Amino acid sequence: MKQPAELAPRDTSGPLDVVVTGLPSDAHTWNLVFMQLLLEDLGHRVVNLGPCIAQDEIVESCCKYQPDLLVVSSVNGHGFHDAEYLVRALRARWELAGLPAVVGGKLGVRGAEGQDGQRRRLLAAGFDAVFHDEQGLAPFEAFVAALAADRSQVVPDSAELAPGDGQLSAQRAEFEAHDSQLTAGRCSLVPVGAREGAAR
């Protein structure tokens, strides 16, 4: 019987690997370039996907690059809905279930009035943090610094994770069950872009 796919080992020292992206409805580029330069100035490596990126392309890019962080930026005032759909698609992939993902910028057109509700919904959908443009850069920089510090700590080997150890374990167990069924039918399923452990 085919063995379940293992999560690829990753180096937990050094800079973060970050994917920066716009959303399908947002054609702005200056915000993405700014985020790239900021992150690089903080010492991290950045892949900038650019503006107007389709949801599926963002998901597949995260599988391909296996980043330590996904940064979604939108400034056209309509990013909230695209971002909510995107993060649900990310979390539906077992290998991306633990990927730290944040979103920020001008996400709606109602100003401060709608921000609390947007933030709650985006966090509930799967984002780890939501940064509105009025907050400035300090909260985002603090999040990145904390993430870089956390990933340098010892992470349990994936074999030590028992079912019930979090969302990734549950999704991985589901994947392995489907994989076993496919193997019994002489099919083979190989996940794309597996990432380690998904400690958050």
Can you give the residue ranges of every domain in the chain? 17-151
* Structure token pair of residue 132: 């509105």
Residue whose pair of structure tokens reads 């966090």 in the numeric block: 123
Residues in the chain with pLDDT < 50? 1-7, 154-169, 171, 175, 178-200
Q: What is the pLDDT of residue 182?
A: 38
What is the pLDDT, as a whole number, of residue 59? 98
**How many whole angstroms separate alpha carbon 186 and alpha carbon 200?**
36
- CATH (one of 3.40.50.280, 3.20.10.10, 3.40.50.10490, 3.40.50.620) for 17-151: 3.40.50.280
- Give the strand order in the sheet containing 129-132: 45-48, 17-21, 69-74, 101-105, 129-132
Residues 6-45 as b/e (b if ≥16 CB within 10 A, e otherwise) read ebeeeebeeebbbbbbbbbebebeebbeebbebbeeeebe
pTM: 0.71
The whole-angstrom separation of Cα 192 and Cα 30 is: 31
With 0-12 CB in 10 A as exposed, 13-18 as middle and 19+ as buried, what is 200? middle
d(CA 89, CA 153) in angstroms, rounded, equals 28
pLDDT of 168 reads: 46
Bridge partners, residue 104, by sequence: 73, 131
Q: What digits encode the pLDDT tens for the residues 78-130?
A: 889 999 999 999 999 999 999 999 999 988 766 655 678 899 999 999 999 99
- What pLDDT score does 110 carry? 63
CA distances from 194 to 22, 46, 94, 138, 166 (A): 23, 19, 9, 32, 17
* C-alpha 59 chain-centroid distance: 9
pLDDT of residue 128: 97
